[in-house]
Amino acid sequence: MNAMPHAVSGTIRASAAPADGLGTSAARARSAELERLIHEDPGRFRVLTGDRPTGRLHLGHYFGTLHNRVRLQHLGVETFVLVADYQVLTDRDVADDLSGHVEELVLDYLAIGLDPGRATIFTHSAVPALNQLLLPFLSLVSVAELNRNPTVKDEIAHSRQPSVSGLMFTYPVHQAADILFCKANLVPVGQDQLPHLEITRTVARRFNDRYGRGTAVLPEPEALLSPAPLLLGTDGTKMSKSRGNAIALAADADETARLIRRARTDSERHITYDPAGRPEVSSLVLLAALCQDRAPEQVAEEIGSGGAGALKRHVTEAVNEYFAPLRARRAHYAQDRGQLRRVLREGNARANALADATLEEVRRAMNSLY
C-alpha cells in the first residue's frame, strides 16, 4: 500500500501553468493522453480527490469529478477520497453542523457508486500525520505565490467572511498534504482546481530538489479533467454550493424541474452548442448530453428551433432519468447512519497507516528522525 506508484512520464514542467484558458487547454490535452495511459495500465496510478463537507453535492461535482472517480475505481485504479472537514473552517458558518455535513457527503459518495471496500474514504482531521506534512510544505512556497492563486482569490470573494483566515490563505498547501500523503499521482478535478494542483506539484518538486538527494520522494501529481470541467449553475456562473445556483444530486424530480426552469439562457431561439459564444445554453446542452451519453452537438441539433423551453424540458427529463437510480441508492443508504460512520472509521485507519509511513519517509529525507 505504501509503494509509490510509478512516476508518470513526461510530467515535469519548469514552472507553474497559469490558470487561464491556456492552462486549461493544456490540461485538457494532457487528460486525453492520461486516459490512454490509464487504460493501458491502471496499476501505475493512484487517485486522490475530495470535497469540502459544505452542503449537498451537485451536478457540477458529479460531471466535473465524481463520475471520473467512480470510473477510475471500476478500472482498478487505487482511489482515495477525502472529506476535507478542516477546510470547512476556512470560510463559512456551516461548522456548527459539521458532522451532519460529513455524513451527507459520505452518503453522496455511496450513492454515486464509490465502494468503501475498494476506495479509501476518510476525513483529513482524523489523520494527524497528514496534517503534520503541512509544516515542511509551508516552508516551500512563498506568500507572493499564495497571493497569486486565482482560485483562492475567487473563493475569498465568495466567502461572505469579513476577513481572510490563515487557513484559507494556505488552503492550497494543505491540499498538497492531502494529495501527497498517499503519493497520489492522479487527481480528477474540475477546472477551478488547476491552480491548486500546480502548487502541489511545486511543493513536491521543491521538496525533492531540496531533500531528495537525487530521488523523487514525492510524485508530481497530474490533473484529470472531465468533459465538463466547469459546469455552470442556474445563474450562468460556475455551479457552486455556496452560490445558491446548484442542482443537488439528491434533489427530487420536481425540485430539479423547478431549478432547470429558472436557469439562465439567452434570447436566441435556435439552440446550438457553442460554449464560448453561448455559455449558458451550451452548459444545459452539455448536461443533457452527458446524462444521455451523446454528443452535445447532436442534442442541440435535435432541439433546433424548439427554443429554451424545449431545451429545458429535455434537460430535466435527461437529468431525472439519469439520476433516478442514484437517488434511490441514496435513500437506501440514508437508513443506516451507523454504516456511514463505519466507512469513515475504516477509511481513517487505512489513511493513518499510509500517512504515518509517508511522514516517516519525509522526516528521514529531511534528516529529522530522532
Q: What angle do CA 364, 354, 356 make, to 5 degrees?
A: 45
Is residue 101 a contact residue for ligand ATP (CB under 6 A)? Answer: no
Q: Which amino acid is at 291?
A: C
Q: Are 231 and 285 in contact (CB under 8 A)?
A: no
Q: Which residues pair with 50 in a beta bridge?
A: 82
Quick one: CA torsion of 110, 8, 229, 131, rounded to 10 degrees? 60
For ligand ATP, the closer of residues 217 and 228 by Cβ is: 228
Q: Can you tell me which of 238, 278, 327, 330 binds ligand ATP, judged by CB under 6 A?
A: 238
Minimal distance in Å, beta carbon 362 to ligand ATP? 25
Is residue 175 a contact residue for ligand ATP (CB under 6 A)? Answer: no
Q: Round to whole Å and give the CA distance between 212 and 203.
A: 13
Among 111-119, 138-146, 235-243, 324-332, the segment contacting ligand ATP (CB under 6 A) = 235-243
Is residue 60 a contact residue for ligand ATP (CB under 6 A)? Answer: yes
Residues in contact with ligand ATP, shown as a per-residue x/- string from 181 to 220 under the rule CB under 6 A: --------xx-xx---------------------------
Q: Are 52 and 84 in contact (CB under 8 A)?
A: yes
For ligand ATP, the closer of residues 154 and 361 by Cβ is: 154
Q: Can you tell me which of 5, 23, 221, 229 binds ligand ATP, judged by CB under 6 A?
A: 229
DSSP-assigned states of every residue in 218-262: S---EEE--S-TT-B-TTSSB--GGGT---BTT--HHHHHHHHHT
Among 232-240, 247-255, 267-275, 318-326, the segment contacting ligand ATP (CB under 6 A) = 232-240
Q: Which residues pair with 49 in a beta bridge?
A: 81
For ligand ATP, the closer of residues 31 and 208 by Cβ is: 31
Find the helix packing angle between 307-333 and 296-303, rounded to 10°. 130
Cell numbers at residue 41, please? 495500465
For ligand ATP, the closer of residues 235 and 274 by Cβ is: 235
For ligand ATP, the closer of residues 217 and 287 by Cβ is: 287
Q: How many CA atoms are closer than 13 Å to the CA of 98, on its beta-carbon side?
A: 15
Is residue 23 a contact residue for ligand ATP (CB under 6 A)? Answer: no
Q: Round to whole Å and give the CA distance between 22 and 233.
A: 23
Minimal distance in Å, beta carbon 51 to ligand ATP? 4
Q: Round to whole Å and give the CA distance between 200 and 180.
A: 8
Q: Can you tell me which of 8, 24, 31, 52 binds ligand ATP, judged by CB under 6 A?
A: 52
Residue 79 phi, psi (nearest 5):
-125, 130
Is residue 104 a contact residue for ligand ATP (CB under 6 A)? Answer: no
Minimal distance in Å, beta carbon 356 to ligand ATP? 26
Other C-beta atoms closer than 10 Å to the C-beta of 238 total: 20
Minimal distance in Å, beta carbon 249 to ligand ATP? 12
Is residue 61 a contact residue for ligand ATP (CB under 6 A)? Answer: yes
Q: What angle do CA 270, 237, 191 make, to 5 degrees?
A: 105
Is residue 136 a contact residue for ligand ATP (CB under 6 A)? Answer: no
Distances (CA, A) of 146 to 123, 177, 241, 252: 24, 15, 24, 40
Minimal distance in Å, beta carbon 185 to ligand ATP? 16
The residues binding ligand ATP (CB under 6 A) are 51-52, 54, 60-61, 64-65, 155, 189-190, 192-193, 228-231, 238-242
